[in-house]
Structures are given as C-alpha cells and as structure tokens.
Chains A and B, each alone.
Chain A
Amino acid sequence: MPGPARIGRGLLTDGDRPVGFRFDGRELTALAGDTLASALLANGRRLVGRSFKYHRPRGVVTAGPGEPCALVDVIGSAGREPNQLATTLVLREGLVAESQNRWPSLSVDALAINDLLSRFLPAGFYYKTFMSPGWAWERLYEPLIRRAAGLGRLVAPAVEHPAPAETVHDHADVLVVGAGVAGLAAAHRLGACGLKVLLADQDVTLGAGALLEARAIAWREQMAAALARLPTVRWLPSTTVLGAYGHGVFGALETLSPEAEARFGGLRERLRVIRAKRVILATGAPERLIAFPGNDVPGVMLAGAALGYLRRYGVAVGTRPALFVNNDEAYEALFALHGAGVRPAGVIDPRPQSLAMERARSLGVEVHAGAVVASVAGRRAVRGVSVANVGGGHRATLRADCLLMSGGHTPSTALAAQLGAPLKWQEAIAAFTADLAPAVGSVAGAARGVFGLAAAARDGDAAARAIATDLGRAVNSAIAIDLPADPAATPLAELWEVSAPGKAFVDLQNDVTTADVRLAYREGYEHLDHMKRYTTHGMATDQGRTGGLTGAAVLAKARGVPVSRVGALKPRPFAQPVPFAALAGGEVGEHFKPKRRLPLHDWHEAAGATFVRAGLWLRPLVYSGSSGWEPVLAEARAVRSAVGITDVSTLGKIDVQGPDAAKFLDFVYANTFSTLAVGRARYGLMLREDGLVFDDGTTARLAPEHFLVTTTTVNSVAVLEHLEFHLQTVCRELDVLVTDVGDHWAQFAVAGPRSREVLERVVTGVPLSNEAFPFMAAGAATIAGVAGRLFRISFSGELAYEVAVPARHALEVWSALIAAGKPLGIRPYGLDALNTLRIEKGHVTGAELNGNTTADDLGMGRMLKASGDHIGRSLARRAGLLAPDRLQLVGVRPVDATRRLRNGTQLVAASARSTSLGYVTSSTPSAELPGWVGLALVAGGRARIGERLLGVSPVHAETTDIEVVSPHHADAGNTRVRA
C-alpha cells in the first residue's frame, strides 16, 4: 500500500499496481487509480502550493474539479502545462509535476513576505497603489506584479502534440448531466423507455455520492450493470459539460484516460458538441467552506473531500482530524474515518444539538456544540484548532493534524442559469436552486436541493418519467428504486463566517478575505458582480465553487440584506478551464482554413509559381521562387510589350436569368444595364443601401434575358447573398433566377498588344477584328475546340481578352493559349504583376473599395444613373458623402524616382505635418514608368493634382516628397484597350 497514509482499500485504486511519479523533484510511489492529490496525501504531503497573492502555504481542499489550491504544473515531453488540478489529474507512471507560485522552493518562498505586507495589499490595490508616476506602470510596476502574481508558468511546447484534440458531435433524446444517484436513476428510466440517452459525468466512474456511502454500493453496481445492458444509453466518463447554449446545445470536454490516450494515438481531449431534445441537470451540490481565520492552512479541507479520499483511494487525510461543520451530512466523513480506525480530535458545530452530533458522542468523540473555530494553529500544516463559543469567548484548544469543514452544500445552478432559469432561495439548505422549463428539461437530485441518496434517486426517476411521457414514451411502472432509506438528519444552521482576528478566506484561489469583501462594499461595489470584479472573488479556474456563496453572504451581511437579495455570481461558460488545443481541435496549422485550389493549380505549381492566399484561394503570386520585384516586373513588362496570360478563375461569376433580369440589375447596380446590348459587357458598380461602394465587376449580356455578373474574388459570396436577399424581399415580384456559376468556369485573361494574335490562333467562330469584336464585346466562342465565352475586357489597360471555358477544360485551353502565344513571347503572370498593371492604370481593388469610399470618392460619381431607383441611391446623395474635402482617389509618385512608396504611408502637407490628409492605398514599382507609382485616398484629392505632399511612415522612419497625380499613370487616354 504505497504511502504511509494509505489505511485501507480504495474503490478506485488497485493495490497491486504501484505507480511511480515525481513531485517537486522527489520520487514518490502511489497506486494506479490515484489522482495526483490522493497520491500526495497518501505520501503525507500536505503542502502542495503557494497562494496567488500572499504566497501562503496551501494544501488540497477538495477531491474534485472545484479545487482552488492544488494546482500544479505538469512537465511532459510536450512541454510544461500549468494549472492542472491535482484533484482530477489521474496519476500515470512517470508523471512529473511541480508546485506553482513559489521561489526558490515550496517550503521557503521569498514572496511570502506579501503575507506580512498584506495590510498594504487590500482588494483593488493595483488600482490605488500603482497610479503614479505614469511612466512607472509599464516599466516598473507591471513587470514586478507579473512576476509576483499569476498561477502557473506557461512555457511554449517543445514539440507539437501528435494528436492534440478532436471535436465530435453527439445527438440524443436526453442529455443527463451528472452520474450520481439522481442521474443514474434518470438515465436508467429513460433508457428503459427506449430513449437515446447521453450520461455525461466529470468523474472517471459512475456513482458520485453513492461511491461514498457503503449502503449504496450494491445499488450503484446494479445500476451500472443495468445501464450497460441498455443499448440506447451511452455513458461519457471524464466529461465535463462546459456550458449550455440554448436550444438543446451543450458543449462538453472529455479528458481521455491514460489507457484511452494510448489507444487513440496520443489524443488527450475531445470537445463534444451535444444536441439533445431535453436535458436533466443532476449536477449535485458541492460542499462549501466556512470563512474562519486560518481556513487556508494546509490540512484544512472540505469534510466531503476527506470522505472521498478515504472511500475512493483508501487514504486518511490525517491521523487526528477535527470536524467543523454546520450540517449532519458532513459528519459522514468523521464516521467513516472513525470506522477505519482513525481517532478524531473532536467536533465543532455551531448548532446546539443534532442527530449526527449525538451519534458522534456515542462513538466517544469530543463534541463542542454551539461552538465555532476561532483560529488554526500551524502555518505549513494544521497543528491544532482553537474553539470558541458561538457568542464569543474561548472554549477549548484541540490538538489536531487536519480540520474538516463544511458550511453546507450549494446546488450547482450554473447550467440552469445559463439556460435562463431564475434562482430561488431555499431556506432549508441556505442556498439557491433553479428549475428549468419543461420544454427544456429538468433539474434533479441534490442540484435541486433534494439531499439524501434515496430521495435524490427518486427525484431523478421522477424527472425522467415526466420527460419520457412528454416525449411520447410509455413509462414502465415496474422499475423501483430500492436504495436503503436515508438516515434522518437535523437541518443545517446557516454559518458563513466566524468573526475573529486573522485572515478568513472566502476565495482560496484568489486570496480574497472577508475583509476584502467588506472593503469592496465600503468603496461602493455593492452588486455581487461588481464586488467580484473588484476583489477577484469567484474568478479563475474554480469559479468560486467552494466559497462563491460564502462571499455573497459576507456581502449581504455588509449590506444588511438577506443573501437571497444579493444573489449568486453569474455563471458563464466554461465550467472549467479548457485548453485552447481542445477548442481548436483539428483546425490547426494547414487545416485552420479550407484551401481552394484553382483548376490549374498543378500547372501553376509546375511552372514554379509562388502561391498566395486570397480569401480561401491559393493564387499564383509570381512565377518565380525568388523574392524581390524583378520577376514581377518581367511579367508585367511582357504584358505591356507583347502578351501575358493570367488565371482569373477566382472571380465571382453569377448567372442572372429571367424576363426581369435587366430590371433587377438596374436596381442592384448604381449604373444602368437595361440599355446594354446583347453581346456587350459593361463595368458595373454596386452600392450598399447606405450609399457606399460595395463591389465592382464586369457584367455581360449574353441574351436578352441572360446576364453574367462578375464580382471581385473576395466579395463573391457576399454579392450572391446580396442579390438573393433582394430577390426575396424588395424585388420579390421580379421573375429572375440567380445562380452561382463561379466554380463552373475557368477564366483566363490574355493581355498585351499581341493578345489578338494569340486569340486568332485558337478562337473559332468569332471574327476578332477591332470592328467585329470591339472593346467590351462579349459572346459565345469556341476556344481551342471548347465551347466557351469570350470577353474583350481589360484590367491591365492593354488590349486584352478574357476567355471562359468549363472548368474541366481548363488545362487544354490554357495549354493551347500558351502554345499559340509562344512565338509571340507569351508569359504567365501572377497576382503581383496583375496588381502592378492595375495600379499603373488606376483601377481599384479591395484597398480602395474599403467600405468607406463612395462612387464619387473613386472618381466614378458620374456613373450613378440620374433617374430610377437603385440600392444606395438615396443615401449616396447625402451632403456628407458629396463633400469636396472627402478622401478622393488620386495617383501618387515620389518626386525622386529613386525613392519607394509604401502602402499605408500617411500624406501630410509640408506646412501642417501633424494633420493627415490621406494615405497611400496601393503601390508598386512601375513596369512602364521610372520608379514607383501608387494610388492614394487624399482629402479633396482631385483638386490637389499637381501638388506636392510629404509621405510619412513613422514606423519606417521615412519621409518622402510625393507628387499628387492622376490615378491613370499609364495610357491616360485609354487608347490601348481600343486598339
């Protein structure tokens, strides 16, 4: 039985399988089935950490997920993981853990001086103390506080997890949260009715309270076996329901056992998204602390935790325990330890008498009724307790090595509250409970304030019957709950704090004392959630599970109102810390976003393209592996001097058909399309209803009732949705269908003075002379034998065509175009060269269509139709959007052609350098002109053409003389496209 404090057989531990581990450098041995906390307690380790603020010695307080103090760093091959709960961390061979928040060691901690300085570190001390001088916050105070405060240390992982996490989706008729007696009875009933049940519990095993009660063990085993036989019931162990998101959707985190981890290739967590028709919240009622001086000394723990360590792991938390409780349920710990041969130091109970007290007396235990603990002797471990009368006055001193406390049990209402359930104060248990609407589900067992195993099981069964009936199932009345009757108990007496000198903690994790709560109240933080923010009460990993309500009660007393008026802390998801890795699941690295590849991706790759992400698309940036502008300019010059070809398949393409298609386009575009002749294309500008520019593109009329709309790559999804929205609302009466054909067509631009010669070699059925197929012509054509479409449109400013063919023919057509252009010097060009060409030409893209610009700002104000309604018509005419000093599109060039431009450079007048007049939106070295050219948005820019401004980029420590010019750097007369 590894460990001196292991006095018996635990339900979860295997006495034949010792497990070696290391804590703070010491080699220790425990048993398979232990948690790190039970393993440390078995080895007599009381001191396991230092507290957050005062660096006070701390020990294990609970036996479950609400643990405030026993947080450790776990060091593994994957790095150092902080803030692991020793109370839920399942021990595995070779585990290495270290205590947190201490230096140089756990027993000697330099910052424990904070405890002596505590009168200078009250609640809210950062807000008060570190105010001045102003510079000192960043350089002095913050670094010091960061070193002193915090919990664990985060160190970047040395290697990536082989299988970090996965996300799975579960569906059920009923989700039962909690596999205690109420949850077991409910799941059994629902399963017997044939309903699909998910039974989720954070524990590694079924039973919760039934594990702790010898008389319930047989029933628990029966239920486990019965559930295993029900095909529609699925038990999810080690699964914490993290949050309730309404409409039957819940998030849960499953932590895999060491065995499951090995089986699933190192997978450690599963995030489960559960959708269920109904929920039963059988989440139990965790025990709460009492705020008395010294309630944080290692060895002071919850009574139920001591019972748990004995029953589950066979560990006695002390050899001479004292009990300080206000309710009969908590005496079970004392009786169990007594039964295991441990001799208690005594019982302190504020009540004058109770049934459990009598039983303790009959066992020969010293009982102090009407008494409280006034102080605890010992610093790194409990040595004794000082007992006082409830009304004041010393009564006795007990020698004890641990103190088991219980201030009652607080039903877990977090999930119900997240589902909008109001809280109700229950005087009998001095706590809040919540009920769910029948359409959502119900709360059962201790979570509803129904204490006692048999009563809770019956309550779970009743909840399940109601839900089964509601879901249309016949309920078999033959199933009975045959748990032994609950022992009679005397009700608890409300006891939140003991008024005596010394620090009495309401939040052990954040070092919040009763005095801090009262200070917060005096300083005006009367609302519980304000007090929480000021003092940090109820924050961090334990979310105030052990002392949340105690803090609320202290605040209530300060305010002079009942606790029911103060309420409970607002519980938000998540219920426990969740590793980011679990939330990310498989969507990491390469898989963070889906990738869209062009039909010609492989060709581009083979041609040496460097790819860039454009939205989800991978687009060729430049056909070169080397960085720098030279390969880009070589591609752009090929277009300007001969011919180039680029893949523009990513453009959005929307087919618009129907008798009212032209009318519809007149409404969604700011310019007119009903006048467009069949076989022609037109540049179109879409506005949002607020009058700002939404998107642009070229739209062709293929037949009287058939248009093809193109959109920018990034807006293709949004434009489609915009069209569909209006077709289903304000344009409902129009007979039009829109279809996304973006993926159907591969589209290539062939651009340059020799582009016609290339096309003439591959296009049949369409004469390509300037007269027969002029600028902005569009129509069906056969390209390299493939039926497709031809458009004479240009983004580069050169004579240019775009060919569109069904995507499956992309490679043959592209290859034919390349082959035809080879003697003419054709080159493929990427997105960078495309950008260089359009900037030279003054065409706008996302940098200028930035959601803040109007048609007028972009120099396209005259495109807006004079008559007829269109989206954005009215608000585009607002005076503010037509003001002459708005940022307007201009061209910019450095005065000294050897200087470069940068996107984002601010433009200022030399005479008023602190006032920005605008900024550079796009820039490139020019393929045609010497030096750099750019586009900019400048206040009243069109009137400034010819002026000089300063381009200032403080982050680059650069100032450049800039000349404001027309945005049309190249071919301002637009003659080439018509050649």
Chain B
Amino acid sequence: MLRIPCPHCGERDETEFRYRGDAGKARPAGDADIAAFATYVYERDNPLGWHVEWWMHVAGCRKLLKLVRHTLSHEIHAVLAPDAEPPFPPREQGR
C-alpha cells in the first residue's frame, strides 16, 4: 500500500485517494481533431520506472495531487500541485 504524503493533510494511506490516471497527458485544445482526443483518452505508456500521475485526496482535502512515482519500487519522488512541472527526469535506475 502506498503512503502518500499529502501536502495539505500529511502522510495518508493510498485508500484515501483515488487514482486519476496519467498526469503526463494534457487535454488537447477543444477544436482538436478526433485523433488528438483519441490519443489523450486511450493511449497510455506503461513505463517501468518513473511515472507522473494524478491522485485525488477524496477522503481528505479533495485536492488533486501530481505524483512522481516509480512503478516498480513504488518510491514517491515528488508530490506536486496540479500545475507544477515535475522536477524531471529523475535519473533512471539501471533496470
């Protein structure tokens, strides 16, 4: 189980949060074509390594957090505000 350090509430269990997917995807402009939206909605990387993702603290402050999490070790490198740019790239482990 992840323990997520919420900047507003402190460190909490993952079960207080709802995973909201890949935070590396930006919604295309409203007039973008179907292909651009299809990429936004359906196409996901499945990285072994660092992943930027949305977690919403639904059982806490209800704020959306941008996490930088390692998909293998589950290490949480950073917990950021939604509009923050992740301090990237953390050096990839030699796996």
- A residues within 8 Å of B by Cβ? 245-249, 275, 420, 689-690, 721, 724-725, 728-730, 732, 868-870, 873-875, 877-878
Contacts and interface: CB of A to CB of B under 8 A. Distances in A.
Contacts of A721: 18, 56, 58
B73 interface: yes
A874 B83 CA distance: 24
Contacts of A420: 72-73
Nearest to A726: B27
Contacts of B20: 725
A873 B72 CA distance: 36
B82 A875 contact: no
B3 A724 contact: no
Given A246-B1, A721-B56, A869-B30, A875 B38 contact: yes
Interface in B35-63: 36-38, 40-42, 54, 56, 58, 62-63
12 contacts: A246-B2, A247-B1, A247-B2, A275-B3, A689-B41, A721-B56, A728-B63, A729-B27, A729-B64, A869-B30, A874-B33, A877-B34
B3 A248 contact: yes
A691 B72 CA distance: 33
Interface string B1-22: 1110000000001000010100
B18 A728 contact: no
Contacts, number: 60
A730 B72 CA distance: 29
Given A249-B1, A249-B3, A420-B73, A728 B82 contact: yes
Given A874-B37, A875-B37, A869 B3 contact: no
A421 to B, nearest CB: 11
B32 to A, nearest CB: 7
Nearest to B76: A247
A724 B13 CA distance: 21
Residue with the highest number of chain B CB atoms closer than 10 Å, among A275, A420, A728: A728
A725 B56 contact: yes
Contact of A246 (B27, B37, B41, B74): B74
B74 A247 contact: yes
Nearest to A688: B41
Contacts of B54: 725, 729
Contacts of B82: 728-729, 732
B75 to A, nearest CB: 9
Contacts of B62: 724
Given A725-B20, A875-B38, A875-B41, A730 B27 contact: yes
A471 to B, nearest CB: 15
A725 B82 CA distance: 10
Interface class of chain A by DSSP: loop
A592 B2 CA distance: 24
Interface of B: 1-3, 13, 18, 20, 27-34, 36-38, 40-42, 54, 56, 58, 62-64, 72-74, 82-83
Contacts of B74: 246-247
Contacts of B1: 245-247, 249
Contact of B37 (A248, A689, A728, A870): A689
A694 B2 CA distance: 29
Contacts of B73: 420
Contact of A873 (B30, B38, B56, B83): B30
Nearest to B30: A869
A731 to B, nearest CB: 10
User: Top 3 nearest A-B pairs by Cβ distance?
Assistant: A869-B30, A247-B3, A874-B37
Nearest to B35: A874
A365 to B, nearest CB: 51
Contacts of A877: 34
Nearest to A275: B3
A420 B74 CA distance: 10
Contacts of A246: 1-2, 74
Nearest to B40: A689
A312 to B, nearest CB: 36
A417 B69 CA distance: 20
A586 B93 CA distance: 43
A689 B27 CA distance: 10
A690 B3 CA distance: 31
Contacts of A875: 34, 37-38, 41
Contacts of A874: 28, 30, 32-34, 36-37
A297 B2 CA distance: 46
Contacts of B34: 874-875, 877-878
Contacts of B40: 689
A729 B55 CA distance: 12
Nearest to A727: B64
Contacts of B72: 420
A728 B83 CA distance: 8
Nearest to A733: B83
Contact of A869 (B31, B38, B58, B83): B31
A650 B20 CA distance: 26
Given A249-B1, A725-B56, A728-B63, A690 B30 contact: no
B65 to A, nearest CB: 9
A697 to B, nearest CB: 20
A732 B38 contact: no
A690 B37 CA distance: 8
Contacts of A245: 1
Contact of B56 (A724, A868, A870, A878): A724
Nearest to B4: A247
A721 B59 CA distance: 11
Contacts of A869: 29-31
Nearest to B36: A874
Given A245-B1, A874-B36, 15 more contacts: A246-B74, A247-B74, A248-B3, A249-B3, A249-B13, A689-B37, A690-B41, A690-B42, A721-B18, A728-B82, A729-B27, A729-B82, A730-B27, A732-B82, A874-B33
A657 to B, nearest CB: 16
Contacts of A729: 27, 54, 64, 82
A571 B27 CA distance: 41
A595 B83 CA distance: 38
A875 B74 CA distance: 33
B58 to A, nearest CB: 6
A728 B64 contact: yes
Contacts of B32: 874
Nearest to B62: A724
A884 B27 CA distance: 29
Nearest to B74: A246
Contacts of B33: 874
Contacts of A249: 1, 3, 13
B3 to A, nearest CB: 4
A732 B73 CA distance: 32
B56 to A, nearest CB: 6
A457 to B, nearest CB: 31
Contacts of A873: 30
Nearest to A419: B73
